[in-house]
């Protein structure tokens, strides 16, 4: 088996930059916003992680055959769908590992900031608040990923098609 070192270096650099940007935004924004907005931002981060995990699973599960048929009919997004499926290992790694894992880390860090704010504002034990907030974040993340995996497996081609349609807005098909 040949190891694609170029891809590994590229994905490490993309992860480094993406993680730094996500962390910068969350760490500078969360301490200065109210608790409700912090909770909404954390829920959005969890949703993004779950959504990208679903895309990664769908791309890995999808078959090329329906998209070859669409490509012969020149249906928009079909060539991008084929590219996603042919590069499933890389797409899945980016979606599940880079975006999904970064969202997991960032939601934990925003959860800690929210816990501190709640503890200070309502004079509740920080330990109690952290346990409560982190339990909710973990439950939503794991529960969301459990739900999306079933959907991604059953509706993989539809999900890949939607993703390809969205990507086709930014990239013209040849």
Q: Tens of pLDDT along 34-67?
A: 899 889 989 999 999 999 999 999 999 999 999 9
Task: Give the per-residue pLDDT at 118.
Answer: 93
Is pLDDT of 32 > 90?
no
Task: Give the per-residue pLDDT at 173.
Answer: 57
The structure's pTM equals: 0.86
Q: Does residue 66 sit within a domain?
A: yes
Provide mean pLDDT across the span 77-100: 93
Counting every residue written for the chain, the total comes to 174
Q: Does residue 171 sit within a domain?
A: no
What is the number of domains present in the chain? 1
Q: Does residue 173 sit within a domain?
A: no
Residue 110 lies in domain: 5-165
Q: Does residue 174 sit within a domain?
A: no
């Amino acid at each position: 088996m040949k190891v694609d070192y170029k891809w590994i270096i590229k994905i490490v650099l993309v992860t480094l930059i993406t993680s730094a940007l996500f962390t910068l935004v969350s760490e500078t924004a969360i301490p200065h916003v109210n608790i409700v907005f912090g909770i909404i931002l954390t829920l959005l981060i969890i949703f993004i992680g779950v959504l990208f995990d679903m895309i990664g699973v769908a791309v890995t599960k999808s078959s090329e055959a329906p998209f070859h048929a669409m490509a012969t009919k020149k249906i928009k997004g079909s060539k991008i769908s084929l590219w996603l499926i042919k590069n499933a290992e890389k797409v899945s790694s980016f979606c599940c590992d880079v975006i999904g894992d970064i969202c997991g880390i960032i939601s934990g860090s925003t959860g800690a900031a929210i816990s501190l704010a709640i503890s200070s504002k309502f004079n509740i034990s920080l330990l109690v608040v952290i346990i409560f907030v982190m339990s909710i974040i973990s439950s939503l993340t794991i529960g969301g990923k459990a739900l999306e995996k079933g959907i991604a497996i059953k509706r993989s081609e539809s999900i890949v098609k939607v993703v390809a349609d969205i990507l086709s807005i930014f990239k013209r098909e040849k």
